């Protein structure tokens, strides 16, 4: 793929990650289209971005010009036909078949001049790319939560990803003032491979009645972790966190250390997905 200046960014999925990624791109002066199939999610993404921007302005972390351009630079849309851009970052649910089907629609709409990035936490980039007509244009650009705060972004090259696509992705990550780290297309990449055990082991301790979740959170926080594992799962989304564990368990050939938790599965089935549903391990009503 030829080097092409990235001016427009399309983001698919306006949930926990997509909304924040859109704001970060808008702040760096990219024109952004944020797309979601659910108009209610789009509305709450817009509200939450406004709240964050107001706070940033009040605390002088951004000035009035940046504030204005952030508001002007993002279009919120539920029409896939509007998702046309030089770079598309997909941040929809963690299901390979759904991601692949969306990417193929976006490829048909945007063609070979666009970079197709996935924010997946656990699905191999090579697997997503293999189901698509332009595997060389597919790359992993993996942000961390909350996207407007966390500096690190993993950039992942699939088996067929064009090196130019990787280079342009790294340049883009730097342009939005994040720290790019190249990770191999291995299960969980770097961070999730290691962090998975933080959640899985804490859930095992809960299942085995070693302690209650509030105590486990308190102990981990007082020993230096910024957030206890249960608070963190609520922030991430209990459903997303569970899907990532399931996927990583499979990719590690069912090693017991990554076994998904029954308690977490129950939360998912009950619709207790954390902050986004106003209840997970904790209550946010
Ligand atoms: N939550 C985290 O902490 C985190 C961190 C890093 C990466 N990720 C990854 O980011 C992706 C998104 O996670 P999330 O937590 O933001 O999920 P989320 O559940 O908060 O949001 C997903 C959004 O995708 C939308 N969606 C579903 N199917 C769609 C489609 N076909 N087209 C357009 N929109 C569609 C849903 O309406 C929903 O709003 C996942 O791949 C996840 O693994 C999540």
Which pLDDT value is given to residue 130? 97
Q: Give catalytic residues, as residue numbers.
A: 121, 142, 154, 192
Mean pLDDT for the stretch of residues 217-224: 98
Could you tell me if the CB of 234 is within 6 A of ligand 1? Answer: no
Could you tell me if the CB of 145 is within 6 A of ligand 1? Answer: yes
Rounded Cα distance, 200 and 239, in Å = 14
Tell me which residue has tokens 């508001």.
Answer: 71
Which pLDDT value is given to residue 27? 94
Please write the tens of the pLDDT for every residue from 28-76.
Answer: 999 999 999 999 999 999 999 999 999 999 999 999 999 999 999 999 9
Confidence of residue 3 (pLDDT cuts 50, 70, 90): confident
Whole-model pTM: value is 0.95
pLDDT at 265 over 90: yes
Rounded Cα distance, 86 and 213, in Å = 44
Determine which residue's CA is closest to atom 3 belonging to ligand 1: 236
For 72, phi and psi rounded to 5 degrees? -75, -30
pLDDT at 2 over 90: no
Q: Is 211 helix (H, G, I), strand (E, B) or coil?
A: coil
Q: Which residues contact 126 (CB under 8 A, 6 or more apart)?
A: 158, 159, 160, 185
Mean pLDDT for the stretch of residues 10-32: 97
Fold adopted by 191-277 = 1.10.1040
CA angle 76, 79, 80 (to 5 degrees): 110
Could you tell me if the CB of 41 is within 6 A of ligand 1? Answer: yes
Domain ranges of the chain: 8-183, 191-277
Could you tell me if the CB of 147 is within 6 A of ligand 1? Answer: no
Compute, in angstroms, the gap from residue 130 CA to the centroid of ligand 1: 21
Task: Name the token pair of 205.
Answer: 């301790």
Substitution site in 234, 240, 245 for ligand 1 pocket (most atoms within 8 Å of beta carbon) = 240
Rounded Cα distance, 276 and 41, in Å = 10
Confidence of residue 1 (pLDDT cuts 50, 70, 90): confident
Do the beta carbons of residue 9 and residue 75 sit within 8 Å? no
Please give the number of the atom of ligand 1 that sits closest to the Cα of 92: 24
Mean pLDDT for the stretch of residues 77-83: 97
Mean pLDDT, the chain, rounded, equals 96
Compute, in angstroms, the gap from residue 27 CA to the centroid of ligand 1: 21
pLDDT at 4 over 90: no
Mean pLDDT for the stretch of residues 235-241: 97
Which pLDDT value is given to residue 149? 94
Percent of all residues in the chain with a pLDDT value above 70, rounded to a whole number? 100
Which pLDDT value is given to residue 192? 95
Could you tell me if the CB of 247 is within 6 A of ligand 1? Answer: no
Which numeric CATH code is attached to 8-183?
3.40.50.720
CATH topology of 8-183 equal to that of 191-277?
Answer: no
Confidence of residue 224 (pLDDT cuts 50, 70, 90): very high
Please write the tens of the pLDDT for every residue from 150-166.
Answer: 999 999 999 999 999 99
Confidence of residue 78 (pLDDT cuts 50, 70, 90): very high
């Amino acid at each position: 793929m030829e080097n092409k200046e990235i001016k427009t960014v399309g983001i698919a999925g306006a949930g926990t990650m997509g909304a924040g990624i859109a704001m970060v791109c808008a702040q760096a002066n990219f024109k952004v289209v944020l797309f979601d199939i659910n108009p209610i999610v789009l509305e709450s993404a817009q509200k939450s971005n406004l709240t964050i921007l107001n706070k940033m302005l009040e605390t002088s972390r951004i000035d009035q010009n940046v504030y204005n351009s952030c508001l002007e630079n993002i279009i919120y849309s539920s029409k896939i036909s509007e998702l046309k851009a030089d770079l598309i970052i997909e941040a929809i649910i963690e299901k390979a078949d759904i991601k692949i089907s969306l990417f193929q629609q976006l490829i048909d709409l945007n063609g070979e001049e666009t970079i197709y990035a996935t924010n997946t936490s656990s699905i191999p980039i090579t697997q997503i790319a293999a189901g698509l007509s332009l595997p060389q244009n597919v790359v992993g650009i993996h942000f961390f939560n909350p996207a407007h705060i966390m500096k690190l972004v993993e950039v992942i090259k699939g088996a067929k990803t064009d090196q130019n696509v990787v280079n342009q992705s790294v340049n883009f990550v730097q342009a939005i003032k994040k720290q790019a780290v190249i990770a191999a297309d291995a299960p969980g990449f770097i961070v999730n491979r290691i962090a998975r055990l933080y959640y899985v082991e804490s859930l095992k301790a809960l299942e085995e009645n070693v302690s209650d979740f509030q105590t486990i959170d308190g102990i981990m926080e007082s020993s230096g972790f910024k957030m206890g594992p249960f608070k963190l799962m609520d922030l991430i989304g209990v459903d997303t966190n569970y899907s990532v564990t399931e996927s990583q368990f499979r990719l590690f050939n069912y090693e017991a250390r990554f076994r998904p938790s029954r308690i977490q599965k129950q939360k998912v089935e009950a619709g207790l997905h954390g902050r986004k549903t106003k209840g997970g391990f904790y209550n946010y009503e």
